[in-house]
Structure 1
Amino acid sequence: MNQTEIINIFTKKTLGLTFVLSAAALAFAQEKVGISGSVVSKNNLPVPYASVTFSNKANKQFSDATLTDEKGQYKLDLAPGAYDITIEAIDYQKSVVNKQITAAGNIGALSIDPEKSATNLKTGDIQGVVITAQATKPYKVELDKRTYDPSQDIVSKGGNLQDVLSNVPSVSVDTDGTVSMRGSSNVKFLINGKPSALLGIDDGANALQSIPADQIEKIEVITNPSSKFEASGTAGILNIILKKNKKTGFNGSVTGTVGYLPQTNLNTNLSWRKGNFSWFLNGGGGYRESKNTNRSDDYFSNAIAASDFTERHQNSVTNSKNNNYNASAGVVYDISPKTSINASGTVRTFDSENDGNIDYSYFYLSNPSSSSNRRTLGTNNNLAFQGDFGLDHKFDDKGQNLSVSLSLQSNRSFNDTNIDETRDGIFSLKDIVNQNTKNKTLIGKADYELPIGEYSKLEAGYRIDINSNDYSNDVQESTALSPTLSFLRPYTYDATYKETFNAFYLQFKSKIGKISYQLGLRDELSNIDINYANLSPKDKDIITTKNYNNLFPSVYLSYEFAKDNQLLLNYARRIDRPRSFFMIPNPNYSDNQNIFDGNIDLNPSYVDSYELGYSISKKKFTINPTLYFRHQTDDTKMLVYNKLAEDENGNLITPRRIESHTKPINLGSDDRYGLDLNFNWDATSWLKFLGNVDLFGYNTKGSTLYDTFDKNGNPIQAVADFNGSGFSTRARLTTTFKVDKTFNFQIQGFYRGGQKTAYQDRKDMYAINFGASKTIWDGNGTISFNIQDIFNTRAMQATTYTANSIRDSYMQWQPRQFALSLTYRFKQGNEKVEQPKRKKDINSNATGDDQQGGPM
């Protein structure tokens, strides 16, 4: 791409963005002055954590709210004008005073009187007031999860969900976009507690790139989910919570981003709260280019004929362009103080164009060399819809609650690819691949909570998932010997994959002194139907039904030494269900020399997971070391093997051609154990650290026979050996420097150690990122700049061994890139202030659908 093309892209994509941001700045800019003050009691003692609301009499847009600190003091910026000031605090009477704000400075002390009924209450029973404010710590440890706040992550500003996940403790993103937790890629993704159409059909890298970073409020990392969660996802669950503003009045923000490799994004978050109604609207879109590089060198040891090659070298570069747009809107209506209903809708589109160029070079037994070129031009169009409906009812004020929800999702994907191949400059073959996938999902849930006494709670629930995937795959091919396009029969098929899960769970929580515990049991009944038919004469139609009924227990224990200082022990059993396209016999055809085969006989694998953790959180630091052990049976492994190419009748093709195949199989076991250490430390007022170190060992067992051929081309069986053990590391450190109140920058380093088995030797990998952020427009705007992979080192390298070949491979999903983003925030009305409960509720359900708080 030349410089003129880049400038044209930036000009076209950012012209509208510039107008929007300029209009926002002109519409909402207002000079403000910094004021301070304090709240005191009748005896002139400071009142900590009191809410102070400033209501502008002339224009509610300029109203604001804050909390006093532990010394009863507060600071905020206000537009000059006349204000009604409302002061509220637990155990104190509400007070309202009038003041005229004219200039910056201290407005003095505001006094409030205690309630008459407050004299006998213990301050230890008070939880405190909650308002919306920036978290002081980006990482928070809870009994059953760890919560990451990306708002302070400068490195991923202007990026997407994939960029944010690259910075989350205990989570890593490989160069191909695969997300893993503690070395395992079987991660379950949820959006606001549910599977979502926002993530597409396959939870792939394209889906992760379609969710803007600025729409994410927080990410919950659940490494050992309890029985209340669905049992799939043996590595754990990543629950992405999207923003829903809790402020009254009309509030929102607009963020625009430009970057290189060329990218432009414009996203907005809007919300409005008034009376019994509240609604939100999040949406945006963008353009992005990417470059994927793959290289592999195969060395074969079974050549006998002069036409057999002893070496094959592949160099592949794929350039992609994509446009993505998404919008989510929702409304909540409070029917009564105890009953509310909610409804929301989501639409997402993703379009991409891919231009791939694969160069092959061959060296034959008779020494002459040859080369071929494979050019792929592909398009993808994905459209997804989702509707969610819910009812929440409180039977009383003691915590007896019922929550019912229904989610309807629809997703369709059209993939078209044209492939042209030449051999030594002469036409060799042409393929036309049309692959269509349609998915429909229904999820229904009911959750009931019943408090028993002061510290105990019983939870029960039911869930049904109905998921249907329809695949239609057409492959046409012409060759130099047969120039007329005709269907490639083994890869032209129709398939339907339908799964139905019914789940019931029961959970009990309680506390005895400093010991808290939670016991749970989940029962899942699974039914899977597969109907597959292709055009190959040697293949028969396949109709398969599979049924499973599994119990999944979970146990959580904690011992509280002191406040924010506890020991945690837990156990959970999980299931790894095969992805639907893993079970379609011939799911994909994009390269006749590197073919992925499905396995309709693939079964789930199961994992027993144990964790022993310790957590201590102080004002300036949090440390959370966790020892873990995970034993997985019937593990899914990828078998790579070579075979001689066959025609649609099963006969060998002449001249002989070697094909590389990859196939998922159930085999043996996999043990993972190690120490996962997370910490954040505010070393000084200007220096902060956030780190994650995972020191882990692995022990993989399993070997299998597979069909291949000997030096004479005769069929034989060889052994694929997956046995291996060793020790490896993953580490990430983010360092934040605060230059002044408005300017910060970050440096982030990432390292992943190598892993070795008898089957594969994977090399280590590292990368360094940089980000800077500047607050402007009196705090209403932020400008950010970041560079991903400064030294262009983030690439995966491995050596794979088969019975008759050795392969050295290299993959880089995305080269170095940078981005510049601008955010403008505007608001009307006040921060939402939630009055606290009198006593600690150890069983609070704070995060909504499919989320639970555990024992303290």
Structure 2
Amino acid sequence: MHSRFEFISIIKKRTLGLTFILGAASLAFAQQKTPVSGTVVGAQGATVPYASITFTNGTDKINSDAALTDETGKYSLTLAPGSYSVSIEAIDFKKTTSTLIVTTSAAVKNFDVSTETSVTNNKTQDIEGVVIVAAAPKPYKVELDKRVYDPSSDLISKGGNLQDVLSNVPSISVDTDGTVSMRGNTNIKFLINGKPSALLGIDDGADALKSIPADQIDRIEVITNPSSKYEASGTAGILNIILKKSKKLGFNGSVTGTLGYLPQTSLNTNLSWRKGDWTYFLNGGGGYNRSKSKSIQQYQTLRDAGSLKNFDLISRSRDQQSKGEGNNYNATAGFNVDLTPKASVNASILLRTFDYTSDEATNIFENNFLGADLGGNFDVTTAQQDNGKRTNNSYQVDLGYDQKIGDKGQLLSISGSLQNSNGNNNSTSNINSVSTKTNIINIPTRTITNNLIYSSTDNKTYLGKVDYELPLGEISKIEAGARYDFTKNTYDYTVLQSINNSPQRPLSNFTSNTFYEEKVAAAYAQFKSKIDALGYQLGTRVENTAIDIDFKNNGTGDRVQKTKSYTGFFPSVFLSYDLGKNSQFLINYSRRIQRPRSFFLVPFNSYDTRSSFQGNPDLNPTYENSFEFGYSLSSKKLTFNPTLYYKKSQDEVNFVQVPVKGADGITAIFTQPVNAGSEENYGLDLNGSYDPYKWFRLMGSVNLYGYKTTGSFQDFNFAGNGFSSRIRLTTTFKPDKDTSFQFQGSYRGAEKSLSNNRKPTYVINFGASRTIMKGDGTLAFNIQDIFNTRAREFTTTGADFTQYNYNQFQPRQFSVSFTYRFKQGEKIDQQKQKKDINNDYSGDQDQDPM
């Protein structure tokens, strides 16, 4: 941060000097000038970007001039013939003076500068022990096609994981079970560094989010309406998690250790080493944590006595207590090397391992209708003990090549990725059922069932992409590219059962093998430019999807083979109008697709004594048209971004739920996804932050949204509408320059549809931090869910039943973490001073210190 402000100071000084010189030169008689160009080079031939070069004419000051090197260390200007004294200044380099004789012939003059080593000359690493009250980063900023969240000032997630960070991101909500939604929609496409990643796995859900430490996250890009450059998948939008990569000289890094309750320990580190043209990095860590949860379920039939049949379920109450413990470890290592000033290669490898052991105790009480002629109702009490273990091992290898073409900003990027995720989920279920109607001889008084469930998945993904950028002058650019994704998943599922100590036997409906392949070929092109205050970006994308499913039930011999193929075009339009004073209007449109998850397409039955899920191979993708109109204001103290949005989808995926009575007389809720009708979503998404004082900040996120569903499937009607809200407010204040406190409150309003009615919830969190050891260390403390209110409570209503559910997946938690930073050098890359046509209005250079 210090380097940045020192750099800005130098630029301002040189800009004033350059303005004065050019103003004087404009009064002089026109004189023939000679082109002069070259490069400023530092140690080991490395170029020096954004160096300030002053050419002072020894005879006539009017002929003096100045220049600034670009990001590649190059400069160019025209000078009148004569003798010049040359002065070169750059951050972390000694001030260098030289002479230059300019003739009437074009000249190429390179300059060498030496790395600063004198303490008296204020080299940046010489003053790193000095505490500087610098500007805090804006936590949230708006760009033309995305919103960027910086978690560095987020105290509540310190020592936590990606799930904790996402709980604070504007427009994003995280449910109690780890389900992430964007503006109320869960169809989000997750990316790591711009690509799908094995770090998140395929179907790991909340487990995957918890495997990425918060300390490894640099920023999160919230793309609510992606442009054609991004893949079209995800009707809610895209969340792109950017992990940290240091660009500092020498050896740098940080280590963070965390202790918490429920028992939680973790140790994570981010290391980098830059020398010459090579940069190496290593991010990794791991941790252990315990968890516990509880759920309550109450079922009640809506059928009258006259329509009940023998052994029909009348009511059921289910109480489940769960606990578990898990370990997760991950490591990412890689390098970047500048082959030439215009070409670079980057490579990385990621390894991740995760295991979780669970222990669940469930008590079920059921009242069944037996029939008046058989003696009336009877009750069944069931005690169930489940023990399971989930494991996942993943790796990912990435390789990229970047080539700058010419001197006008052309860029060609080629990258490839190989990913593999292998998971196993094995569990044992011991069920002890007792009937309390013992006078009915044809009903067993006791049944002891032992189930062994084995499932495994193997997911492979191959990805290749190429992107090209062609600037057209200062304000226009063409972007184009192509991409190919190939995914291959293998699923194996087996259930063995023993009743009353009989030999284990496989259940025919729950023993299967599945092969799933998905190929997506895509190409895109988009053009961006600006006419006065109007900026625009127009693009289109075409994607072809081919899916093959081969499902075999090993018990019954049934086999389902399905091939699906479809092609879609996905245009996007982005408009911005600059109102001045760091404010603008934003209007955009895009067409999106939500491909069914592989799990939704595979027709196997998942086993549970009281509920079951079966995929539907006939599912089609959901297409959506999305519109947004927003306003963005970012000043010294205020960031304000309200957005009105409207989305309409077709072939929406809904879930059919019906009670089904099994051969053992037990009634279970059967669920299957189907395409049924359309859905409309509309609302106001309001995000902003306000810094009324240097020591105080308010940050808020409000989403007021409505929804309307139309459509039906067979006898099921999915028509319904409703309105809900999600509100989050975070306050941060600093009693002194080394101490920070943060409170956060979030509220999720009630939601009601035709079949579900969810009650409102609220959560309050707290965080604090203290900088110690002259800025090299930070102590942090946080409490998640102070009042232990984070739970989900809803009621599902079917055609002839109602079911109440209460779920709390994690009780109140707290943790203490310590971060130690060590560094040898400051950043040597500087921000571009040229304003891009799609530059954001974050007001970074006008921030108040926090």
Q: TM-score range by the shorter chain?
A: 0.7 to 0.9
The equivalent of 1:724 in structure 2 is 720
The Cα shift of 1:588 comes to 2.4
1:790 counterpart letter in structure 2: I
2:601 paired with 1:605 = no
Q: 1:41 to 1:146 in 2, by over 3 A?
A: closer
1:511 counterpart letter in structure 2: K
2:318 paired with 1:314 = yes
Decide whether the 8 Å contact of 1:353 with 1:377 is kept in 2: yes
1:750 counterpart letter in structure 2: S
The equivalent of 1:614 in structure 2 is 631
1: CA distance, partners of 2:362 / 2:814? 27
Question: How many positions carry a matched residue from both structures?
Answer: 727
2:399 paired with 1:389 = yes
2:488 paired with 1:468 = yes
2:661 paired with 1:644 = yes
The equivalent of 1:530 in structure 2 is 549
1:759 to 755, 761, 776: 755
2: CA distance, partners of 1:99 / 1:353? 57
Encode CA deviations 1:567-588: one digit per residue, 9 max, x unaligned.
Answer: 0000000000111111111252
2: CA distance, partners of 1:418 / 1:520? 53
2:641 counterpart letter in structure 1: N
Q: What percentage of aligned pairs have identical amino acids?
A: 51
Correspondence list, 1:472-511, <5 A: 472-480=492-500, 483-511=502-530
2:803 to 785, 801, 807: 807
The equivalent of 1:377 in structure 2 is 387
SS of residue matched to 2:137: coil
**Gap regions ≥5 residues in structure 1:** 1-34, 49-64, 68-82, 109-132, 646-652, 706-718, 846-856
SS of residue matched to 1:183: coil
Decide whether the 8 Å contact of 2:605 with 2:612 is kept in 1: no
SS of residue matched to 1:803: coil
SS of residue matched to 1:424: strand
2: CA distance, partners of 1:84 / 1:299? 73
SS of residue matched to 1:208: helix
2: CA distance, partners of 1:134 / 1:489? 65
2: CA distance, partners of 1:218 / 1:587? 40
1:513 to 506, 512, 532: 532
The Cα shift of 1:457 comes to 1.3
The Cα shift of 1:246 comes to 1.3
TM-score by length of 1: 0.81
Q: 1:564 to 1:41 in 2, by over 3 A?
A: closer
Correspondence list, 1:264-663, <5 A: 264-302=265-303, 304-305=308-309, 307-365=311-369, 366-424=376-434, 426-480=446-500, 483-537=502-556, 540-586=558-604, 588-589=606-607, 591-645=608-662, 653=663, 656-663=665-672
The equivalent of 1:700 in structure 2 is 709
2: CA distance, partners of 1:409 / 1:447? 21
SS of residue matched to 1:163: helix
2: CA distance, partners of 1:354 / 1:134? 46
The equivalent of 2:680 in structure 1 is 671
Q: 1:318 to 1:618 in 2, by over 3 A?
A: same
1: CA distance, partners of 2:563 / 2:116? 71
1: CA distance, partners of 2:289 / 2:13? 60
Correspondence list, 1:811-826, <5 A: 811-826=807-822
2: CA distance, partners of 1:298 / 1:41? 71
The equivalent of 1:154 in structure 2 is 155
Encode CA deviations 1:511-564: one digit per residue, 9 max, x unaligned.
Answer: 111111111110101100000000343x62111100001100000111111142
Decide whether the 8 Å contact of 2:535 with 2:838 is kept in 1: no
Decide whether the 8 Å contact of 2:137 with 2:150 is kept in 1: no
1:262 counterpart letter in structure 2: P
1:748 counterpart letter in structure 2: Q
The Cα shift of 1:135 comes to 4.5
Decide whether the 8 Å contact of 1:198 with 1:207 is kept in 2: yes
2:780 paired with 1:784 = yes
- Aligned-residue CA RMSD in angstroms? 3.0
The Cα shift of 1:454 comes to 2.7
Decide whether the 8 Å contact of 2:327 with 2:355 is kept in 1: yes
2: CA distance, partners of 1:597 / 1:548? 24
The equivalent of 1:26 in structure 2 is none
Encode CA deviations 1:170-209: one digit per residue, 9 max, x unaligned.
Answer: 0001111110000000000000000001001225100000
Decide whether the 8 Å contact of 2:143 with 2:839 is kept in 1: no
1: CA distance, partners of 2:493 / 2:51? 58
The structure with the largest alpha-carbon Rg is 2
The Cα shift of 1:843 comes to 5.8
1: CA distance, partners of 2:204 / 2:610? 26
Q: 1:473 to 1:456 in 2, by over 3 A?
A: same
The Cα shift of 1:291 comes to 1.3
Decide whether the 8 Å contact of 2:253 with 2:272 is kept in 1: yes
The Cα shift of 1:88 comes to 10
2:768 paired with 1:749 = no
The Cα shift of 1:374 comes to 1.7
2: CA distance, partners of 1:695 / 1:380? 38
1:335 counterpart letter in structure 2: L
Decide whether the 8 Å contact of 1:473 with 1:492 is kept in 2: yes
2:283 counterpart letter in structure 1: N
SS of residue matched to 1:335: strand
2:823 paired with 1:827 = yes
The Cα shift of 1:259 comes to 0.3
SS of residue matched to 1:197: coil
The equivalent of 1:196 in structure 2 is 197
SS of residue matched to 2:736: coil
**Gap regions ≥5 residues in structure 2:** 1-5, 20-49, 53-90, 98-110, 128-133, 370-375, 436-445, 841-850
TM-score by length of 2: 0.82
Q: 1:85 to 1:546 in 2, by over 3 A?
A: closer
Encode CA deviations 1:386-406: one digit per residue, 9 max, x unaligned.
Answer: 000010000022111100000
2: CA distance, partners of 1:444 / 1:88? 46
SS of residue matched to 2:199: helix
1: CA distance, partners of 2:13 / 2:367? 92
2: CA distance, partners of 1:558 / 1:577? 30
The equivalent of 1:207 in structure 2 is 208
1:314 counterpart letter in structure 2: R
The Cα shift of 1:842 comes to 2.5
The equivalent of 1:127 in structure 2 is none
The Cα shift of 1:267 comes to 0.2
The equivalent of 2:442 in structure 1 is none
Decide whether the 8 Å contact of 1:507 with 1:521 is kept in 2: yes
The Cα shift of 1:790 comes to 0.6
Decide whether the 8 Å contact of 1:380 with 1:416 is kept in 2: yes
Decide whether the 8 Å contact of 1:189 with 1:239 is kept in 2: yes
Decide whether the 8 Å contact of 2:296 with 2:807 is kept in 1: yes
The Cα shift of 1:663 comes to 1.3
Q: 1:336 to 1:39 in 2, by over 3 A?
A: closer
Q: 1:724 to 1:442 in 2, by over 3 A?
A: same
2: CA distance, partners of 1:485 / 1:432? 9
